[in-house]
Amino acid sequence: MEAFRTEGLSKDFGGVRALSNVSFNVEVGEHVAIIGPNGAGKTTLFNLLNGQLPPTSGRIYFFGEDITTMSTHHRAHLGQARSFQIISLFSNLTVLDNTLITLHGTKRSRFQMFRPTNTYKYLLAKAQEMLTTIALWEKRDELVKNISYGEQRRLETALTVASEPKLLLLDEPSCGLTSAESADITDIIHKLGRDITVLLVAHDMDLVFGVAERIIVLHYGHLIADGTPEEIQADPRVKEIYMGIEENTGNATAS
């Protein structure tokens, strides 16, 4: 079954074409990595898939439904979740508050105005279970800006999967982590199970090859390769981009 599909997705920023005619589809439960040099359009693609930006042209389908013009929060209710490249946790709120806000996001109670948040016992229990798993329960009353970077990453990743999404968009989940911490992230993704589709953007090739069953390569907004890790490793165009040898165009700015 198909989890989502894009058709001819393009995005212009002023005169700059950040994405050009990108079409691909992802099956339910697939773990797909998007790679490409800086400026290849990976984050733009994420922002289109998640609804943070509207596409200039093209369409996006999510479980068969056309979500091209749907707002981000509606997509969240359909089962999309994303993490951000730059940690976007609420840094002036506590670890527990961050968790509770995340858990309320897809519940009707998010508009509840007169019932104190800490009376939602089942959500509190869920928060405790989650934070205990990532060893942050003891630090639940610390402000997020006061915990370490690795802990913030761990919290961010755990919160992204907290809403039990169908599709997980992970933008550089291992950015700035040590290799041991990065291996933790790989573990978390492996433990997700087969009903969650994962799409991740990463520079960290250990993570990409550790997690992905399929790799999509973007270069200057164009989709240039799509295949299994072995196929991608063997693809001459990908080698060109990553080795910086541009035989055809003579343009070697990819870094």
Partner 1 sequence: MATAKLKEAIKQPWRGQLIRFVPYIAGGIILVVLPAVLPSYLQGIWTKFVIFAIFATSYDLIYGHTGLLSLGHAAYFGAGGYAVALLMLHYGIDSLWLGIPVGILIGAAVAAAFGFIALRVSGMYFLLVTFALAQLLFSITWNVRWLNSPGMMGIAGLPRPDLGIPWFSWSTISLYYFVLVIFLICLFLIYRIINSPFGYALRGIRESEPRMRSLGYNAWLHKYIAFIITGAFAGLAGVLFVYYNRFISPTHIGIMFSFLPMIMVIIGGSGTLLGPVIGAMIIIFVEYFASLFTPERWPLILGGIFVVAIMYARGGVSIHLSRLWEKVSYRYGSV
Q: Which of 23, 38, 69, 112 binds partner 1 (CB under 8 A)?
A: 112
Cα–Cα separations (whole angstroms), residue 6 to 58, 65, 158, 183, 234? 7, 11, 27, 30, 26
Q: Which of 50, 152, 182, 186 binds partner 1 (CB under 8 A)?
A: 50
Judged by CB under 8 A, does residue 109 bind partner 1? yes
Window contacting partner 1 (CB under 8 A); options: 81-89, 180-188, 200-208, 238-246: 81-89
Order of all β-strands in the sheet with 80-83: 80-83, 167-171, 197-201, 31-35, 214-219, 222-227
Q: How far apart are CA 90 and CA 143, in angstroms?
A: 9
Q: How far apart are CA 105 and CA 130, in angstroms?
A: 16
**Residue placing its CB nearer to partner 1 in the complex, 164 or 246:** 164
Judged by CB under 8 A, does residue 88 bind partner 1? yes
Q: Which of 13, 23, 73, 230 binds partner 1 (CB under 8 A)?
A: 73
Burial class (CB in 10 A: 0-12, 13-18, 19+), 167: buried
Contacts of 66 (CB under 8 A, 6+ apart): 59, 60
Nearest distance in Å: CB 173, partner 1: 15
What is the per-residue binding string for partner 1 in 172-211, x denoting contact by CB under 8 A?
Answer: ----------------------------------------
Q: Which of 1, 14, 15, 111 binds partner 1 (CB under 8 A)?
A: 111
**Residue placing its CB nearer to partner 1 in the complex, 76 or 158:** 76
Q: Are the C-beta atoms of 203 and 172 separated by less than 8 Å?
A: yes
Residues that bind partner 1 in the complex, under the rule CB under 8 A: 50-52, 71-73, 75-77, 80-82, 84, 88-93, 97, 100-102, 104-107, 109-118, 120, 163
